[in-house]
Amino acid sequence: MSFEIIAPALDTNNKTVTVENIRIQNGVLVEVDTELCNVSTPKASEILVAPGRGYIVVWAEEGQDWPVGSILINIYDTEEEARQAIERKNRQKVEVSKKINATSKAKELAQRYGIDLSLIKKDTIIKEKDVQEFFDSRK
């Protein structure tokens, strides 16, 4: 069984959490209750732990603000699944930066949300607010 760890809403005022103190590397096997990372807002913090055993893929970088409600970490049953996810993540990052006319912040937010920027129809440069509006409209 694979697991998705969603960025939690730590308080009602913040739409993002800051990812801190990542304790594991992508592709590593973790056991139940392994501490994975901290997430925080100005008012609260929490340690995220593995709900099950598996191979980890962390989508955020240390110090990065991550949208509440989006997938922050996946735990896969097999090392191969984790490796493929890491490859997809890296490929998507390169493809998005090459093809789409968007700001770097918009590209970063789209990657966090797992959004294909080509789905956002806009005649001008796609901005961070466009990505956020697209994400909010799909909830």
Nearby residues of 7 by Cβ (< 8 Å), 6 or more positions away: 16, 17, 39, 66, 67, 68, 69, 70, 71, 72
Taken as a whole, the chain contains a residue count of 139
Tens-place pLDDT, residues 37-81: 999 999 999 999 999 999 999 998 888 888 999 999 999 999 999
Tokens, residue 86: 């890491």
Does pLDDT of 96 surpass 90? no
- Nearest in space to 18 (alpha carbons), one of 51, 50, 45, 36: 45
pTM (two decimals): 0.68
Tokens, residue 72: 């922050």
Does pLDDT of 99 surpass 70? no
* Contact of 69 with 18, CB cutoff 8 Å: no
- pLDDT in the model for residue 139: 60
Phi then psi dihedrals of residue 71, to 5 deg: -70, 125
Domains of the chain with CATH codes? 3-77 (2.40.50.100)
Tens-place pLDDT, residues 103-121: 989 988 888 887 878 788 8
- Nearest in space to 69 (alpha carbons), one of 114, 7, 133: 7
Average pLDDT over residues 12-35: 94
Q: What is the mean pLDDT of the chain?
A: 88
- pLDDT in the model for residue 94: 58
- Number of other CB atoms surrounding residue 31 within 10 Å: 9
